[in-house]
């Protein structure tokens, strides 16, 4: 690993931590030439998962895009980034457990709704209103009534 400060190739790993069920490894390193510390992140790149969009297009799965969508629905709510990451991890684990190479965006949306409903009702309604494309307040109120009756 090359030092980002001086370009030297020799360094020592000071600390190693895993995230996302061992899929991501974070290492703190010390350059043996300039003595500065830096962090590297290693992550498995090729998931080979494609998302089939509503119009039939296929695009590579993007964890960041999924995380961002959930973050938007959870904005100004008492939901931590760790809770959002946990939801994304659960969704990915469910997809991987079925060894799926392609998944419809609707299925991912339903999984998000399922987990958000358990986590935060307001975030759930926000996500559902965009995901299910509510056209008017009647549809919105219908979803709120369903939520009220399920409690």
Which element (helix H / strand E) includes 138? helix 137-150
- The DSSP-derived string for 87-123 is HHHHHHHHHHHTT-SEEEHHHHHHHHHHHHHHH-HHH
Query: How many of the other CB atoms lie within 10 Å of CB of 146?
Result: 10
- Residue 56 tokens read as 């039939």
More confident residue, 27 or 20: 27
Which element (helix H / strand E) includes 28? strand 24-31
More confident residue, 59 or 138: 59
Q: What angle, rounded to 10 degrees, do the helices at 121-131 and 105-119 form?
A: 160
- Residue 17 tokens read as 């931590």
Over 90: is that where the pLDDT of 32 sits?
yes
Q: pTM of the predicted model, to two decimals?
A: 0.62
Asked whether the beta carbons of 83 and 135 are under 8 A apart, the reply is: no
Confidence of residue 47 (pLDDT cuts 50, 70, 90): low
Q: Give per-residue pLDDT as tens, 61-87.
A: 999 999 999 999 999 999 999 999 999
What mean pLDDT comes out for the span 57-61?
Answer: 92
- In angstroms, the CA 73 to CA 75 distance is 6
What mean pLDDT comes out for the span 49-69?
Answer: 91
Asked whether the beta carbons of 9 and 32 are under 8 A apart, the reply is: no
């Amino acid at each position: 690993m090359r030092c980002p400060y001086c370009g030297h190739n020799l360094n020592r790993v000071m600390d190693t931590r895993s995230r996302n069920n061992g899929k991501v490894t974070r290492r703190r390193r010390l350059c043996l030439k300039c003595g500065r510390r830096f962090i590297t992140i290693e992550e498995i790149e090729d998931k080979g998962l494609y998302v089939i969009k509503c119009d039939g297009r296929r695009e590579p799965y993007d964890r960041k895009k999924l995380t961002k969508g959930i973050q938007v629905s959870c904005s100004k709510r008492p939901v931590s980034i760790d809770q959002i990451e946990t939801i994304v991890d659960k969704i990915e684990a469910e997809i991987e457990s079925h060894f799926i190479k392609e998944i419809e965006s609707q299925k991912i949306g339903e999984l998000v709704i399922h987990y958000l409903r358990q986590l935060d009702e307001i975030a759930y309604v926000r996500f559902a209103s965009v995901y299910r494309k509510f056209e008017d307040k009647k549809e919105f109120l219908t979803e709120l009534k369903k939520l009220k009756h399920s409690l």
